[in-house]
Structure 1
Amino acid sequence: MAKAKGSITSKRHKKILKMAKGYRGAKHRQYRRAKEAVLHAGQYAFAGRRLRRRDIRSLWISRINAALTPYQVSYSRFMKLLKDSGLELDRKILAQLALEQPEVFKRIVEKATSAKRKK
């Protein structure tokens, strides 16, 4: 009986080499090197998705803190005042307002700080 041509193996190899397209050196030509590179790339991508969320949150915090400097309120104090005043706005929305609609952000800051004075 004649040996099969290995169509399944060749498909698997093709798939891995297609994933490794654009990699440098032997990593896009040789199956064994490409397989390893694709495996590591997947691990880095997984970790990167978590890091991106962390980085975006810290960007929001930086933007809010920068927008608070004219009002002489620190970020941590503002978040506490916001919570105490009953305004439930997340960091993403606050950062967006600070960037795109500063007058609305100013009213939010005033409302949060006025709630402190009433107590």
Structure 2
Amino acid sequence: MVRAGSGKTTTLRRKRHRKLCKGFRLSRHNLYRQSISTLLRARAYAFRDRRVKKREFRSLWIIRISAACRMRGLRYSEFIHGLQLANVMLNRKALSEVAIHDPAAFDQLVELAKKSIKK
């Protein structure tokens, strides 16, 4: 005999599942069997991309710092090395923000890095 597939618990489980699939396109949000596989894939991407996001932001900060350094006649690697020699403990996110919003302060950091490299 076939099991009942339209009971209260089954309906509630499917309803809860459909709520998680909100925003999916076409039949992926309202056809139950198709939405299961789509949700599994979406959660796998979400798990993976929480780590990828960190990498991408660090890469963006490095690109911004590098561009700002090159405008001032210094390579990124030399700049970071000079800051390490000068014991400046700013992370790349902070350096990127300084480079964008406070160019005068970034000029001072570049000069500090240049002086500490020459020593």
State the TM-score, normalizing by the size of structure 1.
0.89
Output the CA distance in 2 between the equivalents of 1:70 and 1:24. 45
The number of aligned residues is 115
Runs of 4+ residues over 2 Å off in structure 1: none
**Alpha-carbon separation, structure 2, partners of 1:98 and 1:56:** 15
Query: What SS does the aligned partner of 2:95 have?
Result: helix
Where does residue 62 of structure 2 map in the other structure? Answer: 61
Question: What's the TM-score, normalizing by structure 2?
Answer: 0.89
Per-residue deviation, 1:97? 0.1
SS of 1:96 mapped into structure 2: helix
User: Does the residue aligned with 1:22 lie in a helix, a strand or coil?
Assistant: coil
CA offset digits 1:39-78 (Å, max 9, x no partner): 1111111111111111111110000001011222111111
Aligned to 2:18: 17
Q: How far does residue 24 in structure 1 lie from its aligned partner after superposition?
A: 2.2
| CA contact 2:29–2:35 (8 Å) conserved in 1 | yes
For 1:78, the aligned partner's letter is: F
- In the alignment, which residue of structure 2 is the partner of 1:87? 88
Task: Percent identity, please.
Answer: 37
* Unaligned stretches of 5+ residues in structure 2: none
Report the CA distance between 1:37 and its aligned residue. Answer: 0.7
Structure 1 unaligned spans of 5+: none
Distance in 2, matches of 1:9 and 1:80, equals: 61
**Which residue is equivalent to 2:53?**
52
Residue identity opposite 2:29 in structure 1? H
Deviations 1:10-54 (A, max 9, x none): 111001111112322321121111111111111111111111111
Q: CA RMSD in A?
A: 1.5
Match of 2:56, as an amino acid?
D
- The amino acid that maps onto 1:82 is L
Q: Quick check: 1:100 aligned with 2:101? A: yes
